[in-house]
Amino acid sequence: MALLDILTYPDIFLTKKAKPVVNIDDALNKTIDDMIETMYNAPGVGLASTQIGCNKSIIVFDPSSGENPKSLTVLLNPKIIEAGGEIVSENEGCLSVPDFRSDVIRSASLIVEALDREGKPLKIEAEEYLAIVLQHEIDHVNGILFIDRISALKRELYKRRIKKQLKQGDDK
């Protein structure tokens, strides 16, 4: 297994929609294993393929933050088929949006359909924290960052700060 580089905003790849997984082979399984190792090392509770520059629709997540290895889940081609209610994801953060956290309005419950890493169909009913994690990661494979779901003012302030940091880095 290998640790992968996590792309960060404003990398344009983060805005690309991932393509469906059609072939589960050794290369795909190696990518999944590397994603899992990278997620735990970061540390994070989830990682989407687009965050590591892979254009296949894959998410890995562990809402227990590694405390319960049975909580690790791999989903291929995840899709939200039903969403209900509203919850505020307080202080949401992202490995691809470093040094920024914000409240995000999310659905309180979801039904997600996907394939497991063997290609078997799965249906997950999720509420509250798990629903938030799933929405966040599924957004990634659809080319959406959590900052796309916050107020325009907060988003613009973050973008300006990053542009300033990048410009200062170029000036050195």
User: Which residues are part of the catalytic machinery?
Assistant: 137
Neighbours of 97 (CB within 10 A): 19
